[in-house]
A and B are shown apart, each in its own frame.
Chain A
Amino acid sequence: MKAGTKLEKVLESGHFAVTAEAGPPKGTNAEVIKKKGELLRNYCDAVNVTDNQTAIVRLSSLAGCLLLKEQGVEPVMQMVVRDRNRLAIQSDVLGAVTLGISNILCLSGDHQKFGNHPTAKGVFDIDSIQLIQTLKRMRDEKKFICGEDISGEVPIFIGAAANPFADPFEYRASRLAKKVKAGADFIQTQAVYDVARFARWMEMVRERGLDRQVHILAGVIPIKSAGMARYMRDYVPGVIVPDEVVTRMEKAASAKEEGLKIVLEIIAQLKEIPGVHGIHIMAVGWEDIVPELVERAGLMPRPTI
């Protein structure tokens, strides 16, 4: 065991894992996080708390994770390199681990241009792969980037992202290999709608034997409306929404039911792809649907570890 978190145990024992995402509030209301934690508690193995997602300032991921932890819900702390230099990063990691938050997902972060402070200075002192490497070194060698010793244990289950829908496509398996080499223990991917492309990527991943070195959780986003489908197709960087999905949403009598059906079909296909060890549900603004989604996907009950 790297850190002995519940998420690690679920994955290591060979269960098909389910994680979900909870966005923290643009303010100080702890109830927002607590409600999401309560809702998701029995339907997933861990809950990701986003870190100023889409570069919009929100309650910090660390605080959100602590609120979940206090409720007995397993958190995954997302951490972007956009907002912190190496001093702040390592300090926050020590803080998280000390508070019992040991699942950490390493990300570059959406560019500040997309957020509510577009004139901010992007930090990018280190990149996401160097962040993975930093966490591995902190955990395995108990050393900071500078080489000095860290006192105490630093258990971390290291997560990273992968986006098989970005370009250059042929490079995407190499990029995963790099993240594995840097020290990633689990991967949560960008949302899958183009299952064929995802399957081609997984094939390259298996050819390199990466599926045996890292746990891959395929990302899904349930779509609530035809407008949301079009928006994601046209404006969300790094996501591919095929026209067929948009058409189905437009023609549906009940958009919500159709959106749910689409995501359930995708999950059914993902479960059949060798090397996929779980799903990561990013129900942005539609967290209420997660229990029904997990239930209907045949992923209940969740393992008790």
Chain B
Amino acid sequence: MKTITRQKPQEEVMGYLAKCHKVYLIGCGTCATLCHTGGKSEVLEMKEKLKAAGKEVSGWMIIPTACDELTKYALQEEAQRIKAADCVLAMTCAIGVQMISLHLKDAKPVYPALNTLFIGMEESPGHFTEVCLQCGSCVLGRTAAVCPLVRCSKSLLNGPCGGSSEGKCEVSPDIPCAWQLIYERLKEMGRLEELEEIEPTKDWSVSVSGGPRKIDIEAECTSLS
């Protein structure tokens, strides 16, 4: 599982930093490193850019995995240099940004340097595709393991719209029509009759529409056993 990120325009980042003179930089050794958005070389590059813009960098580090609880200890180790800064610029995914903010000892702004895009499938090295919406009620069993919620531009659950042409989505020739893919796979498996079933309205209450989701693995395991 990889969280795919993209660097924000430098202009937006500098907008955040307008009132800060000293900045502490944090990158992440996992997904952001893999995406070349917040690994060591990107953090050092940012450091140079900030210096060139007249800022002072009080320190920097690459947290191995910014989204896990060990972030707390990494922040403790760097507490002095962070304390000296007016703000923290996080070159991590949005989870990292929030983890850092949660565990900072003193109240200090944590600004994101990246946009968090999606949980991606790596189709080939460096090529990521969004294939899951994390909707909370998986339909893949009925759609030949192609998710129409995220791969169909209209999230249609009952087949292709009138804009599917020669395997492409009306939105862009670069987007394959999810329902063409589903159709072909089901046809290959002799399961086309499954497409005649009407998929009922979706329960969005188990997605973000139901409010922030939380899970306690230990409690779930206890209740199962």
Interface segment, A66-74, A161-169, A260-268? A161-169
In the complex with contacts A111-B170, A111-B171, A130-B201, A171-B159 CB distance below 8 A: yes
Listed in ascending order, the chain B residues whose CB lies under 8 Å from chain A are: 153-167, 170-171, 177, 180, 183-184, 192, 195-196, 198-202, 204
Chain B nearest Cβ from A128, distance in angstroms: 7
Chain B nearest Cβ from A35, distance in angstroms: 29
Interface pair B162/A111, CB less than 8 Å apart: no
Listed in ascending order, the chain A residues whose CB lies under 8 Å from chain B are: 82, 86, 108-111, 113-114, 122, 124-130, 133-134, 145, 161-163, 165-168, 171, 174-175, 177-178, 181-182, 190, 237-238
B200: A residues at CB distance < 8 A: 130
**Bound form: Cα–Cα A124–B202 in Å:** 10
**Bound form: Cα–Cα A182–B184 in Å:** 24
In the complex with contacts A82-B154, A145-B201, A178-B159, A171-B195 CB distance below 8 A: yes
A175: B residues at CB distance < 8 A: 159-160
**Bound form: Cα–Cα A237–B166 in Å:** 11
**Bound form: Cα–Cα A190–B192 in Å:** 24
Interface pair A125/B195, CB less than 8 Å apart: no
**Bound form: Cα–Cα A133–B158 in Å:** 12
In the complex with contacts A128-B161, A163-B162, A167-B180, A238-B170 CB distance below 8 A: yes
**Bound form: Cα–Cα A167–B154 in Å:** 16
Interface pair A166/B155, CB less than 8 Å apart: no
- Select which of A82, A129, A161, A167 is within 8 A of B158 by beta carbon: A129
Chain A nearest Cβ from B200, distance in angstroms: 7
- Select which of B154, B164, B171, B198 is within 8 A of A178 by beta carbon: B198
Chain A nearest Cβ from B129, distance in angstroms: 19
**Bound form: Cα–Cα A134–B204 in Å:** 17
- Select which of A126, A162, A167, A177 is within 8 A of B166 by beta carbon: A167
7 smallest beta-carbon distances between A and B, as pairs: A163-B162, A237-B170, A129-B158, A237-B163, A238-B162, A124-B155, A127-B156
